[in-house]
Amino acid sequence: QVHVVESGGGLVQAGGSLRLSCAASGGRFSTIALGWFRQALGKKREFVAGISWTGGSTFYGDSVKGRFTISRDNAKSKVYLQMNSLEPEDTAVYYCAATERATMADMESLYDYWGQGTQVTVSS
């Protein structure tokens, strides 16, 4: 059983930056693929970014490419989401997700473990 907890959300002005963190416990972190998803009010949950076991491969949703960066620190059992050039459209609850069933994944259905989410609000 893997447990993940997000932190780092908050209120930021458009054009600003935030860094989200996700701490994982349980399981073997170095063989857990991790991802970030988000859900805006009234919308479906959306894939944001994913990272492979080693961190050697990353991939992003189209709406955040070039602005967001996912990274992981296997020594600390943490994954991060650096968000730059934030836009009001980025306002959402951001979720960290983990899976032991794939080396990397962008499909929500492949993730088995989810955090409670952290709110990110971008004001215009």
Amino acid identity of residue 89, one-letter, is: E
pLDDT in tens, 81-119: 999 999 999 999 999 999 999 888 889 999 999 999 999
CA pair distance 124, 109, nearest whole angstrom:
33
Annotate 60-112 with DSSP letters as a single string. Answer: E-TTTTTTEEEEEETTTTEEEEEE-S--GGG-EEEEEEEESS-SS---GGG--
pLDDT in tens, 3-35: 999 999 999 999 999 999 999 998 888 889 999
